[in-house]
A and B are shown apart, each in its own frame.
Chain A
Amino acid sequence: MGATASDAESMRIRNRHRKIRYGYMMGMFLALLWGLWYVPGSLMWLIDPFLGLYESVAETNGDTTAMIVTAVLISGANALMATVVLTIWNAHLRKFREIKRTIVEFRAVSKYLLLAAVFAGPMAVFGSYLATGFAGAAFSAVAALAFPLVGTALTARFAGQKLSGRAIAGIVVVVAGCMCIYVVGLIDELRSGGMEAMGYVGGLMAIFGWGLEGLVVAKGMDISEPDAAFHIKMLSEVAIWWIVIIPILILAGFPIQDYVLGIFTDPAALLVVTCSGFAFGYCTICYYKAYPMIGAGRAMGLSAMNAMVAVIFLFVLAGQVPAWTVVAGGALCVLGIFLMFYEKEENLESIRGEQGASA
């Protein structure tokens, strides 16, 4: 005995601090892993069987079609391997029964996770490849980085998540900082006059795809366990790529079937895809764990930092020296994160501002 009410209150504040720190840590790990994912993610384009598929489709249908078809196989392989990683993770955490309980409640919860897979997979990923192909890599990256702004607006409007002015300012500054990284490339692309309308369509698909994913995930995560939720979302994504899109492309005459086996038999390909699956799988875990703790807006804002992390990894691993815009962008990112992190913790007691009244 002997514990007083004030002991309990100070313990509660410590617990709240720990909880918020945990949410932010998950957000940081998300950005780190996403940035790291770009290393195997971009390596896949350079190795067989993906390169072989690209060359074979390019010969008959041109470069842009080849890029899209290859992007489908890469996305499918990445989703499959990430799901394998998540399966091992959830077997260890003994979540299979919760996953089954959640999947069968389609109308109440798992429909949101299926929708998240549609928005994140075919819509956003495919859109960002279209943007890359028809407009340019820098445009595509800037478009992808704008998603936290759209996602934050959508979750505030349709999922009732509340954000302080300071948090919104932080998110905007982080996103602007990350975009700064690509500003020179974007100006070059705009000047070259090579932007095609399809590129803008792709950019919009990426922004709204990931933004809408944020919204439906926020709705699904309210009433499901993060570990179960991301597993169901990834399973849905695997189904979309391997049961719907890849068979459609094969029926349309693209020779994907000749290259699928190569992913698992070629040791180099298997290694790269496994690394990609690990990075992507754990990135998803961190994303979905940050959601209920710090809210969708902050989690998405932090995730934009992946651009910064990718630049750092490319600098360390490939010796690409960053330009001054990258340094400026990095400084803005740090400032934005400080803005977010040092807001009043009471604001984060509940991501909908419910608790305050009763506390």
Chain B
Amino acid sequence: MMEGRPMKFRLLEVFGEGERWNCEVIPEMQREYGMGDRYGADTINFDIIEMATCGFLSRIDVKVDSEGLYREGSLLIRYRITDLGRAQLEKIGKNLRKKGARA
């Protein structure tokens, strides 16, 4: 439902489908949004961090990336959507622009 919509809409939807590691979600989003380079990955990671700070995602596990899944030596975080995040996702869902009307 959120494909091609603003990045944080889509991220809420993806985390709404189940717990995920950031290193799994980032490459998926990079492909979807055509942001394949390192800068694109950092941008998406930062969006996820902001959403966690906003209280929409909660951290359930952390580990150091020793296999280069995202970037060797960086911190990998597993997130779960919070009740607040789910309520936000629902609210966005009700207010989405109709697909057919898209420019």
Contacts and interface: CB of A to CB of B under 8 A. Distances in A.
Interface string B34-55: 0000010001000101101111
Interface stretch (A11-19, A136-144, A196-204, A257-265): A11-19
A102 B6 contact: yes
Nearest to B60: A358
B6 to A, nearest CB: 5
B84 A354 contact: yes
B59 to A, nearest CB: 6
Q: Is the interface of B mostly helix, strand, loop or mixed?
A: mixed
Interface size class of A (residues with CB under 8 A): 35 or more
Interface string B19-38: 00000000000000100000
Contact of A9 (B8, B52, B62): B62
A355 B55 contact: yes
A107 B54 contact: no
A91 interface: no
A98 B6 contact: yes
B6 A355 contact: no
Interface residues of B, number: 38
A108 B54 contact: no
A354 B58 contact: yes
Interface in A1-36: 1-3, 5, 7-9, 11-12, 15, 19
6 contacts: A5-B63, A15-B75, A98-B7, A107-B96, A222-B88, A223-B9
Given A8-B62, A293-B53, A351-B53, 11 more contacts: A8-B75, A101-B5, A105-B97, A108-B92, A160-B84, A221-B54, A223-B88, A225-B43, A350-B52, A350-B53, A359-B58
